[in-house]
Structure 1
Amino acid sequence: MIESNTHDIFAKISSIKSAGVIERYGFNDFLEIAREVRSNVSDDVWLEVGWDILEGMGLEELYGCDYDILTALEHIPSQSDLVDIQSFLRYSLVETLLEQFDAGGTTVLLDIGKMVGTPADVLIPRIIELRKDEMENTIVPVIGKEIIIYDVFMNEIHTITEPNDAVVLDSLWFTAYGCQVLTSLGLGLRADIDALEKIRNVMEKMEVTLKVGKGKYSVGKNHSNMSEAMKTFILKRAENSTHISKYRKSKQ
């Protein structure tokens, strides 16, 4: 994509994020812009654009769903107004998410708080159940050597690992609770033992048990079912969190 086209596409992305474009130009023009944007951006970028579209339409409770919103938009009658579109998306996506959850679909970025009092609140019990299940099936591996440090009286005072960033967090990022905690702590895909304790402490306050294992585990294989677009989006978030954390440390 040449630079001028890139600017044009991002301008169109900005326009379809707001429900105002539907009220101003009509649904058909909105759909044409959405189709053009979809054909010119990667799957993970489009996934996020879809969330922004939902949010712009007042459907914040569905933000973070693992779904290509263009699929739903293509089934909306062309003469629909904003209220019709909101109603169609709200109920069709709730039904779609229920089907995804029955197949072990991800809840990683869904916000339960925003679902309360909306038609999406029927999803909440299933989301809570799935989040508990995925934590039961997730083991955070610690690789390399563990070195215990003692004081002069042979009391254990600290533990370090070799390498220092021996805690592999990929699998935890793909869980809802893990993603929340790691984002709040500014952690990336690898961490040290001290960071692991911080994660454990935060999760204990959430009444979530963190399973840790020594040695090699199947990293990233135990999470709920999610699209490749969602996996890419989560990994980019983790990598960005790593860069921010390193920048903050360099400023200290």
Structure 2
Amino acid sequence: MIEFAEEIKDYLVQDNIQAVQTLISDLMKSYGWKEIVSLLKTVTTSLYRKHLLKTHKTVLTIFGLSELVGVDCDIFAEMGSIPEPESMEHASDLLFDNFIQVARSPFCSGGSTLFFDVTKLSATRSVLIIPDLIEARYRETIFILSEYDQLLPTLTKDWMEVSRLWRCGYGLRILKARNHGLMIHVKDYKEIRKSLAKQLGVNLEQIARERNRLIRESNSEFLQLSHELDVFILSYIVSLGVIGKFDPKYKSLIDPEDSDEF
């Protein structure tokens, strides 16, 4: 199927998703589903190497599920696990049933909430995971803020390392919007802390109490990212440089056109 790989690659370079969908639909008449999944894996690996986000976004967009880009799994293994689909529409439905469960399950066990956009989810059939996503983001943000609150009194310098804040949904969004990197000034962190607490509807003085309540009512696990996602986030943080956009080595792994997407 090497000739089809080159054809799909050309279409993706041109951002012609519709042509890819048409070609895959035709291939499904002559080839097995697992062969097609393998073909997509070969193409995206060739184009994006280990860029997890681009791979997820491209493959899920082909099947009309781009809103689930944040799903934390081996996307090709999950695709290969579904029954043989009869058409592109059937494949989309089967993949939706699979990925919606894969996306939702970690929300209840401290898994990743990264790269899900509530606005985009709300306009699709994936809307049903929004309550779990919001609750999971609330929990992880409370735990992260509490963790940093315990760290602050021990600091001997005015800069602090925030790689764990980058790993939670709201944290990544605000750090990215403010062009921060691995290290931020304590003054900036306090502004972020205040903003996040306001977003959660929690008084700053109540963070520790709220953390204790969450521990009593549910498990205390959070930031349980897969190894692949954790490596991607680490690479992303490193690409930003130590102090973000003001660092001469700054180079975002997330394309500028995606800057407001997550």
Q: Deviations over 1:119-166 (max 9, x none)?
A: 322211111111111122222234542xxxxxxxxxxxxxxxx3x4x2
Q: Which residue of 1 aligns with 2:59?
A: 53
Q: Which residue of 2 aligns with 1:169?
A: 162
CA RMSD of aligned residues (A): 3.5
Unaligned runs of 5+ in 2: 1-5, 209-219, 251-262
C-alpha distance in structure 2 between counterparts of 1:187 and 1:199, whole Å = 11
Q: Helix, strand or coil for the counterpart of 2:240?
A: helix
C-alpha distance in structure 2 between counterparts of 1:44 and 1:229, whole Å = 9
Q: Which residue of 2 aligns with 1:150?
A: none
Q: Deviations over 1:15-72 (max 9, x none)?
A: 6993532412524464232243577799953454022211243212211111222123
Matched, 1:183 2:176: yes
Q: Which residue of 2 aligns with 1:136?
A: 142
Greater share of residues in strand:
1
Q: Which residue of 1 aligns with 2:240?
A: 241
* Aligned sequence identity (%): 20
CA gap of 1:101–1:197, structure 2 versus 1, over 3 A, is closer
Q: TM-score, normalised by structure 2?
A: 0.67
C-alpha distance in structure 1 between counterparts of 2:120 and 2:179, whole Å = 24
CA contact (8 A) 2:37 2:79 kept: yes
Q: TM-score, normalised by structure 1?
A: 0.70
Q: Deviations over 1:95-117 (max 9, x none)?
A: 22233333332112211211114
Greater share of residues in helix:
2
CA contact (8 A) 2:121 2:127 kept: yes
CA contact (8 A) 2:140 2:168 kept: yes
Unaligned runs of 5+ in 1: 1-7, 146-161, 213-220
C-alpha distance in structure 2 between counterparts of 1:188 and 1:109, whole Å = 18
Deviation at 1:196, TM superposition (A): 1.4
Higher mean Cα deviation, 237-246 or 85-94? 237-246
CA gap of 1:136–1:205, structure 2 versus 1, over 3 A, is closer
Q: Helix, strand or coil for the counterpart of 1:206?
A: helix
CA gap of 1:247–1:92, structure 2 versus 1, over 3 A, is same
C-alpha distance in structure 2 between counterparts of 1:208 and 1:13, whole Å = 46
C-alpha distance in structure 1 between counterparts of 2:84 and 2:130, whole Å = 32
CA gap of 1:207–1:97, structure 2 versus 1, over 3 A, is closer
Deviation at 1:222, TM superposition (A): 6.5
Deviation at 1:207, TM superposition (A): 3.4
Over alpha carbons, which structure has the higher Rg? Answer: 1
